[in-house]
Amino acid sequence: MPGDAPRDPSTAAPSPAPSSAAATAAPSPTAAPSASAIPHRAPSRDAILAVHSFPGEYVIKAFGPGSPDFHDAVVAAAHAEVEPGRVAVSVRGTASGARHCVTLTLAVDTVEQVEGVYSRLFLLEQLLLIL
């Protein structure tokens, strides 16, 4: 205001604290991502086509618990899109058996088959990671 003396910055009131929304907007870089933060989508069609030709072989690795239910669900997801005789399955487990990696080697005719398998795998609640 006119006539007011300039304020000494050392005596200025502290800035207001950030709102709670702003304070929680960025997670800690060391915090584990929540399940909802993990992207649930396949590689883009362009990315797949850049390194694969069809018909051809395509490998997907699905990681989850070391239970027969997870293995069966992963295989069923693949068989829903690709004939069973065109899907090779191998499993590797952790030393404790708590986690498994189910590797699907698909003999596919089209990129749409690959996209379909990814879509079905991402519907599995037990899925931890997919490569």
Angle at alpha carbon of residue 119, lines to 108 and 59, rounded to 5°: 40
Q: Which pLDDT score, from 0 to 100, does residue 65 have?
A: 95
- Model confidence at 102: pLDDT above 80: yes
- Model confidence at 25: pLDDT above 60: no
Q: Which pLDDT score, from 0 to 100, does residue 16 have?
A: 47
Question: How many CB atoms neighbour CB 91 within 10 A?
Answer: 13
Tens-place pLDDT, residues 31-73: 433 444 445 667 888 888 888 989 999 999 999 999 999 999 9
**Length of the chain, please?**
131
Structural domains of the chain, with CATH = 41-130 (3.30.70.260)
Mean pLDDT computed over every residue of the chain: 79
pTM of the model: 0.68
What is the band of 104 on the pLDDT scale with cuts at 50, 70, 90?
Answer: very high
**Residues near 87 by beta carbon (within 8 Å), at least 6 away in sequence:** 75, 78, 79, 104, 105, 106, 107
Q: Which pLDDT score, from 0 to 100, does residue 55 have?
A: 95
Q: Which pLDDT score, from 0 to 100, does residue 20 have?
A: 45
- Model confidence at 6: pLDDT above 60: no
What is the band of 1 on the pLDDT scale with cuts at 50, 70, 90?
Answer: low
